[in-house]
Amino acid sequence: MDASEIKILIVDDEPDILNFLRYNLEKENYWVYAATNGNDALKMALKIKPNLVVLDVMMPGMNGIETCRAMRNLPALRNTPIAILTAMNEVESEAACLNAGANDYITKPIRPKLFVSRIQNLLNEDEIENGRTSFKVGTLEVDRERYVVISDKKQLDLPRKEFELLSLLVAKPGKVYRREEIKALLWKHDSQSDDRTIDVHIYKLREKIGERHIKTVKGIGYKLDY
């Protein structure tokens, strides 16, 4: 689906935050709607059927967690991807977000590029869940539904993180993924992971699928070659 066809609902009671989020999402050509409280968000979501919702935790009346829970109780919004914005180190809030049915939480202060990456990942996951599950680049094939990787006509058994990393790269061949972006997408709840963790997984993948597929973009990150 083209970005201009994707509707994103952002909900926050602070005008500056709403404008900030809207600006960064509209730069990516998404169609953005805004609400300032949970009740209005529910009404708007039922009307526009968004592809994704971003909720702030702290709002007057119905907070973000309560709004998320209410959305999950509505058949029309039950499977809509939801991200909740939380303040840094609010561990209890983060757990509550996931327990309420959120797909992800994003901590403040919000970094624009990382925020957009997390949103894109949620949209990609939703697209994969509701549509495409297999990808082929050259002699490399990845089937996310059957958890199968075939390289040069040989089936490989990959550990979960290696499979997730390869799936991320193969879904968008040619796209350069920054190390911080990969960490945010695949190790988002693991504070112990670092650049070395990613590099080790890349090294192990190259051993198994060959050097030619995964390219290093010096000082930035990695991409899957065509």
Q: What is the pLDDT of residues 70-113, one digit of tens each?
A: 999 999 998 899 999 987 566 566 778 888 888 888 888 888 98
Share of the chain above pLDDT 70, in %: 89
Q: Domains in the chain, ordered, with CATH?
A: 3-128 (3.40.50.2300), 133-224 (1.10.10.10)
pLDDT of residue 196: 84
The pLDDT mean for the chain works out to 86
Res. 220: pLDDT tops 90: no
Identity of residue 72: R
Predicted confidence (pLDDT) per residue in 17-39, tens digit: 999 999 999 998 999 999 999 99
Q: For residues 51 and 80, is the Cβ–Cβ distance under 8 A?
A: yes
Mean pLDDT of 204-218: 90
